[in-house]
């Protein structure tokens, strides 16, 4: 599976930012997700000098760019050289970049205080979540945090997302949708501490979307959520 994803993203690298974040909806979705990640890290005291954060499957460096210019030490890893080339063009020397596979990361045990996994898990079946996150547990320090974006099953109150799900399913691009309730069981090396809803329709605007994402009832209708997982 890793090699087919690598080939796919090598081929897509040059157009990735334009096709995903180029229009208004994509830019808003990006902003809501990036803001949510930054807010979680801030709340948990992880944006201070000396903190080491790994952006796993960093792609073109969306999250690394969102975290710049915080004083943390940023590392990005990805299996695709093409995506890393795009990432380097965006973040320059502000992060250390390395090519590598999530299932066998070239970092020592307990290297990082936090790891981010944006836009990756929905590319694989839910049954493979543990395979792709167990090595992240190894490179995290005890008690370290993993923030994962997960595609949300509970989008029934959000017609825009329902249409998108139908379209994506037809193209087989999204392999897994998981309810927030079922999420905890999919990461055996972690305890799921909270989920924050992200990806609401454009009309919501970033402030309303953020407010909704943090409300227990409303976060269930976000197209995705961020699972906040603590390494056991
Ligand atoms: C949808 S992109 C997400 C990129 C970025 N995290 C974001 O949110 O914009 C998925 C990324 O996962 C990377 N990837 C796929 N399989 C991987 C693996 N086994 N190890 C590391 N990266 C992988 C791809 O190369 C691609 O850059």
CATH classification of the domain holding 91: 3.40.50.150
Phi/psi of residue 130, nearest 5 degrees? -65, -40
Question: Which residue, 105, 179, 116, is CA-closest to 149?
Answer: 116
Give the pLDDT confidence of 138-170 residue by residue, as tens digits: 999 999 999 999 998 876 556 666 676 666 555
pLDDT at 170: 55
- Using CB distances shorter than 6 Å, the residues near ligand 1 are 2, 5-6, 9, 57-59, 62, 78-80, 83, 101-102, 118-120
Instruction: Give residue-wise pLDDT tens across range 52-77.
Output: 999 999 999 999 999 988 899 999 99
- DSSP 8-state secondary structure symbol assigned to residue 111: -
Quote the pTM value.
0.94
Residue in 186, 132, 176 with CA at minimum distance from that of residue 152:
176
E strand or H helix at 143, and its extent? strand 140-151
Domain count, the chain: 1
Whole-number mean pLDDT of the chain? 91
| 31 CA from centroid of ligand 1 (Å) | 18
Domain of 135?
2-231
> Ligand 1 centre from 101 Cα, in Å?
9
């Amino acid at each position: 599976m890793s090699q087919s994803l690598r080939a796919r993203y090598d081929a897509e690298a040059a157009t990735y930012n334009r096709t995903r974040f180029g229009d208004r909806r994509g830019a808003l979705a990006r902003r809501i997700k990036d803001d949510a990640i930054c807010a979680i890290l801030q709340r948990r005291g992880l944006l201070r000098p000396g903190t080491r954060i790994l952006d796993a499957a960093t792609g073109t460096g969306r999250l690394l760019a969102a975290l710049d210019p915080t004083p943390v030490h940023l590392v990005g890893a990805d299996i695709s050289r093409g995506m890393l080339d795009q990432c380097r063009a965006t973040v320059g020397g502000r992060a250390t970049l390395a090519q590598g596979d999530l299932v066998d990361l070239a970092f020592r045990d307990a290297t990082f205080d936090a790891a981010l996994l944006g836009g990756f898990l929905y590319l694989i079946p839910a049954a493979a979540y543990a395979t792709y996150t167990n090595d992240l547990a190894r490179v995290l320090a005890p008690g370290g945090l993993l923030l994962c974006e997960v595609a949300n099953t509970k989008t029934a109150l959000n017609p825009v997302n329902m249409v998108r799900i139908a379209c994506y399913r037809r193209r087989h691009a999204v392999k897994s949708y998981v309810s927030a309730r079922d999420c905890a069981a999919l990461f055996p090396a972690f305890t799921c501490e909270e989920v924050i809803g992200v990806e609401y329709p454009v009309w919501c605007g970033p402030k309303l979307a953020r407010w909704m994402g943090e409300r227990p009832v409303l976060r269930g209708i976000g197209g995705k959520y961020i699972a906040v997982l603590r390494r056991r």
